[in-house]
Structure 1
Amino acid sequence: MTDRKLIHIVDDEEAIRRSASFMLKTSGYAVETWSSGVAFLKEVRHAEHGCVLLDVRMPEIDGLEVQKSLVERGVTMPVIILTGHGDVSIAVRAMKMGAVEFIEKPFEKAVLVGAIEAAFERIAAADGASARAADARMILGALTPRERDVLEGLAQGLPNKTIAYDLGISPRTVEVHRANLMTKLDVRSLSDALRIAFAAGMGV
């Protein structure tokens, strides 16, 4: 992945695409423009990951429908909603679906760049979390099924006796599994073991 920050501008108004594109390119961003939500959705699977500037009012399919479709397809690019109409209900719906920001046209450069930087911080945080989760799942692969069961119980905050009862084994056996899994995970404290378990999605 390159270091350049890519912005996808999805807006049916050519003047907006041109001016926003120029503003962002001069601020050091890479830009791709799309003249409709339909065109963007058609290519989104192959599009480079970046931040999406999405106009609300567009023919064929509006911005909120595009955003909803992205969510349904599991596309994790952060979205900033643009609108020429100060419509609070649209803002609320967009934010509920995970939009980073909601900006009214005409927008100031500082406001737009601030929202874009927040979007890229979200990408970095998500990348970090998914990398940690992948690492944790790989580390947990070294455990036996029973050791995983014990760790799951610990991640749920259960005491040894309860874990033993739930698994139909003795508390002493739970202690043995617990000691073994800590050795395999190469951790010294329970909190370190739990950090790995939580990163892998256990204890939910």
Structure 2
Amino acid sequence: MNSDQARVFIIDDESDVRAALSMLIRSIGLEVETFSNALDFLVSYRPQWSGCIVADIRMPGMSGLELQEKLNAMGADMPLIFISGHADVPTAVRAIQEGALDLLEKPFSDQRLLDKVQSAVRRDLERRAEIAVRGQLQQRYAALTPREREVMTAVVAGKMNKVTAHELNLSTRTVELHRANVMEKMQAGSLAELVRLAQMLELDESGPA
């Protein structure tokens, strides 16, 4: 099983529901993994998994809400879509407040579920791509010297080189050299791009968030 490939994880105690949902979701080219209970999924779960979860909200043993609570405690951010034949309003509200993407009440149309699943998978892939980009940016930022970081902070704050030179007790030429090094190491082709990268890193005067 390729851990990098996006999949839909179906968790439902009814075998006929698992089979029907699997067939439906595979019909649009997505990989599917099924689990008959929430505990089995939780034991098998790996942080590198990508895709989304489709789970019944009421199941014997660990309920869907309990699963959601444990996943949240683990910091797992995979989108979660609940399905239910008898969800009351407080349960639905709690599920959404705790971060569920949606709660679909049975009977729901095949297309509605497919739309939600495709949206959830796309959202998860985009989130993971952003995390990967941020990780690369953090590596670039870590390669800067302390002085280069000071200069970068000044540059993205819009300070002129001579002002930065005065504040850091450097020559303007030295600031220019540090600035050029920052642009190269951060792989920024322009000042606007450097500012954008700093925003992605959530830089403040003390460094990345």
Question: Whole-Å Cα distance in 2 between the matches of residues 138 and 171 of structure 1?
Answer: 26
User: Displacement of 1:10 after TM fit?
Assistant: 0.7
User: Displacement of 1:66 after TM fit?
Assistant: 0.4
Question: Whole-Å Cα distance in 2 between the matches of residues 47 and 37 of structure 1?
Answer: 18
Match of 1:107 in 2: 108
Scaled by the length of structure 2, what TM-score is found?
Answer: 0.78
Task: Map 1:50-129 onto structure 2 (within 5 A).
Answer: 50-129=51-130
Q: 1:64 to 1:195 in 2, by over 3 A?
A: same
1:108 partner amino acid: S
CA contact (8 A) 1:100 1:118 kept: no
The SS at the match of 1:50 is strand
Question: Whole-Å Cα distance in 2 between the matches of residues 3 and 113 of structure 1?
Answer: 21
User: Displacement of 1:187 after TM fit?
Assistant: 3.0
Question: Whole-Å Cα distance in 2 between the matches of residues 114 and 41 of structure 1?
Answer: 25
CA contact (8 A) 1:133 1:201 kept: no
Scaled by the length of structure 1, what TM-score is found?
Answer: 0.80
Q: Cα deviation per residue 1:79-100 (whole Å; 9 max; x = unaligned)?
A: 1111112433333322233222
User: Displacement of 1:125 after TM fit?
Assistant: 1.0
CA-atom RMSD in angstroms = 3.2
Q: 1:13 to 1:47 in 2, by over 3 A?
A: farther
Q: Cα deviation per residue 1:131-166 (whole Å; 9 max; x = unaligned)?
A: 2112212222331023224434655x47579x96xx
Match of 1:185 in 2: 186
2:109 partner amino acid: E
Q: Which runs of 5+ in 1 are unaligned?
A: none
Question: Whole-Å Cα distance in 1 between the matches of residues 71 and 153 of structure 2?
Answer: 33
User: Displacement of 1:55 after TM fit?
Assistant: 1.1
CA contact (8 A) 1:50 1:78 kept: yes
Question: Whole-Å Cα distance in 1 between the matches of residues 31 and 184 of structure 2?
Answer: 47
Match of 1:33 in 2: 34
Match of 1:169 in 2: 168
The SS at the match of 2:168 is coil
Q: 1:172 to 1:98 in 2, by over 3 A?
A: farther
Question: Whole-Å Cα distance in 1 between the matches of residues 62 and 84 of structure 2?
Answer: 14
